[in-house]
Amino acid sequence: MTEQRRVVVILGAGGTLGGALVRKLASEPDTDLVLSDVNDAAVKAAAESVAGAGATVETALADVGELEQVEAVVRHAVERFGRLDVLISNAGVLAQNGRIHNLTTADWDRSFRINVMGAVNAVHAAVGPMRKQGSGSIILTASVAGMTAWSHSGPYCVTKAGVIQLAKVAAVEYARDGIRVNAVCPGTFLSGMHKELSEAAVDAIASKHPLGLGSADDLVGAYSYLASDASRWTTGSAIVVDGGYAAP
């Protein structure tokens, strides 16, 4: 990847973490980006935020729950730039909260469709061009929620655990093809999902993180590492970046 321009696809580029990833990777040398999100205005804003950074940036709409749409994004990247070096699957939802007996099948289905099948579709779409070129890095956004238990958050915890396991299975399946697959497990950071919370609720969440609440910018270094040749012997890992949340 160091001998030519690196081509990176980011799914879920329109949110808080997605925007931070766009800024980080666009600032790195010899990198071109294809940004995708279900929100057209958000993904265009993410692209505009790095105008002049030196990266060529393309945008594409996609619902990650639809394999054909994810495949179209990957195909666009390959047709435009000739290869696919890195795919980051960052789309996700925090569905309705509640105790398990109060949740509906629809609550679970929405979480599985986006969080699990979105990641499955990302892997499915990416491995085709990566196998042909004999290299690639796939990075899945999971969560410390997939390693711990949050009351009233069953769908989120269960589906993020599935993302971690998907990274492990895919890493084993595609290692011989030169493809690395890893997950990043963020702790809680302030984002659009928390805008409805009271100050007291935010303080309560922060108290569970020894280093306090982080920001999206605190997370992007892990993705940068996994997207680089420095992580060439790292696969099947779940890298935790959580301000110490999971330590106790």
Cβ–Cβ under 8 Å, residues 48 and 102: no
H or E segment at 218? none
pLDDT of residue 7: 98
Domains of the chain, start order: 6-241 (3.40.50.720)
Return the bridge partners of 98, or none.
Answer: 153
Cβ–Cβ under 8 Å, residues 152 and 98: yes
Q: Among 156, 174, 223, 245, which one carries the catalytic annotation?
A: 156
Sign of CA dihedral 115, 233, 24, 73: negative
- For residue range 193-204, what is the model confidence (pLDDT) as tens digits? 666 567 777 787
Find, among 167, 156, 145, the residue nearest to 112 by Cα. 156
Alpha helices (H) in the chain, listed in sequence order: 16-26, 40-48, 67-81, 105-111, 117-133, 154-174, 199-206, 220-226
Give CA–CA dist 17/54, Å, rounded. 21
- For residue range 136-153, what is the model confidence (pLDDT) as tens digits? 999 999 999 899 887 888
Rg from Cα positions in the chain: 17
pLDDT of residue 2: 44
pLDDT of residue 220: 98
Structure tokens at 64: 């990650």
Question: Residues of the chain whose pLDDT is less than 70?
Answer: 1-3, 192-197
Average pLDDT, the chain: 93
245 assigned to active site = no
